[in-house]
Amino acid sequence: MVPCYNPAEGWSGIILKRIEELNDALPAYELEFIISNDGSTRISRLEIERLLSHPQVTFLDHRLNQGKGASIRKGAARSHGDFIVYTDIDFPFGIEPVVQMVQVFESNPRCQFVYGARNKQYFRQLPVKRRIISFCLKMLNLLILSPRIRDTQAGIKGLRRDSLTDIMETRTNSFVFEIELIRKLVRRKAEIHSVEVAAQPSITFSDFSSKVLWREVVSLTRILLGSRQEEPYFAGEDILEDTVLEEELSSLPAATVI
């Protein structure tokens, strides 16, 4: 499952290439690919059509931009697999961690959650501001989660279907929603594993604006204080209507506007 917001030109080609690679790497599994569009204001209909020509792809178009957490909950709610893996739209770590996560689940029946743990080389490549933020979050993880949790912000995670309720009950919509999710899993003593991930050579690191940073700080503070967050998404929410993109997508197979 891939959350999506204002993707760069050519994004559909990247996803289709990864679909082909994953089908080759996991021939024993029936795979589905869900793209969860989080209210993009800049997205090409041609690229959507290209994706929807593939029988394994479902495109969910959400009218409102709510954030990564909301986008992942909406995508996960429409999934059918025994294992659910989500990653960033540019597949920053390639497909190998996806394959490794499936192998972890198969070889460890009690494992409920697998996260990507970025290696040292990855952190050396980060812009200075993001490196500082990552270090601070790593220290915070030690305090509020567990010394066993080495990383919460790598853009790839996997969960067993048994833990779908945990992700659906999170209330944070921003990037730090995964801290809320992992905290919930740690508290109920779920078995958690990790796989080491490294950045692909083609990855481009973005920087965070002051506005985004402030929003993340507010969300993180709410998680720590246990205060009420945004309402969680549940499948079956009211359908949103009357957008231009909705009218265009309504004629495309496997495209769902919500």
| pLDDT tens profile 78-101 | 999 999 999 999 999 999 999 999
* pLDDT confidence tier of residue 137, bands split at 50, 70 and 90: confident
Question: Average of pLDDT values for 225-232?
Answer: 51
* pLDDT confidence tier of residue 203, bands split at 50, 70 and 90: low
CATH number of the domain bearing residue 120: 3.90.550.10
Q: Which domain holds residue 159?
A: 2-257
Q: Which tens digit of pLDDT belongs to each residue from 13-61?
A: 999 999 999 999 999 999 999 999 999 999 999 999 999 999 999 999 9
* pLDDT confidence tier of residue 255, bands split at 50, 70 and 90: low
* pLDDT confidence tier of residue 149, bands split at 50, 70 and 90: confident
Q: Give the whole-angstrom CA distance, residue 8 versus residue 150.
A: 30
Tokens read off for 256:
């769902």
How many domains are there within the chain? 1
pLDDT at position 160 over 60 = yes
Do the Cβ atoms of 90 and 6 come closer than 8 Å?
no
- Of 73-87, 118-132, 160-174, 240-254, give the range with the top mean pLDDT: 73-87
Choice between 225 and 170, residue whose per-residue pLDDT is larger = 170
C-alpha gyration radius of the chain: 18
What confidence score (pLDDT) does residue 224 get? 65
Q: pTM for the whole thing?
A: 0.79
